[in-house]
Amino acid sequence: MYKRGELNLPDEEEERAMYHEAIDFLKTQGYVHYEISNFAKPTKESRHNLTYWRDQEYLGLGAGSHSYINGVRYNNVKFPAVYIRLLNQDLNPVENRQVLTREEEIAEYCFLNLRLIRGLDKKDFFKRFAVDIKELYATIIEKLKQEGLLEENSTYIKLTSLGLDLANEVFMEFLP
């Protein structure tokens, strides 16, 4: 329908209004807004998704699965028959392997954790990378705070309401 011009989509302003209306409605229904596009009843947040947003390691098993271990991202071949054939031949079913640079790991950590409503924990960042986030991104963080896209307290750096609307623009600032 979209390709034929038969789908009447909202413009960007209407889309943002709908997003904020959904946030308000879900909150009145007892849901917690814990990630840009995720809501849950208290204590029912998706642990699976939080693993990604916290940039933690995960192991995928089976055809088409993905893993992220020790700064290396893997994915297995997509088709089960091919996956099984490779295993039966004692061959590795990994189709792609990407080793992240330290700079890429840090950038991903930043923009994935900023997806969380609570934001990026500065102490966790230091524990993981042995450097204060301000040493790497002070100028960017201050610029985004001045633009009203980020806010900061002693523990967290997080997106503002406007920052949630323009999250992709914020995330791009952290890319190498």
CATH 1.10.10.920 residue ranges for the chain: 102-173
Instruction: Quick: pLDDT tens for 101-115.
Output: 999 999 999 999 999
Q: How far apart are CA 123 and CA 108, in angstroms?
A: 17
**pTM of the model as a whole:** 0.85
pLDDT in tens, 127-171: 999 999 999 999 999 999 999 999 999 999 999 999 999 999 999
In the three-class reduction of DSSP (H, G, I as helix; E, B as strand; rest coil), residue 172 is classed as helix
Q: Which two tokens stand for residue 176?
A: 């190498």
The CATH class that applies to domain 102-173 reads: mainly alpha
Amino acid, single-letter form, for residue 149: L
Spatial separation of the C-alpha atoms in residues 143 and 160, rounded to whole Å: 13
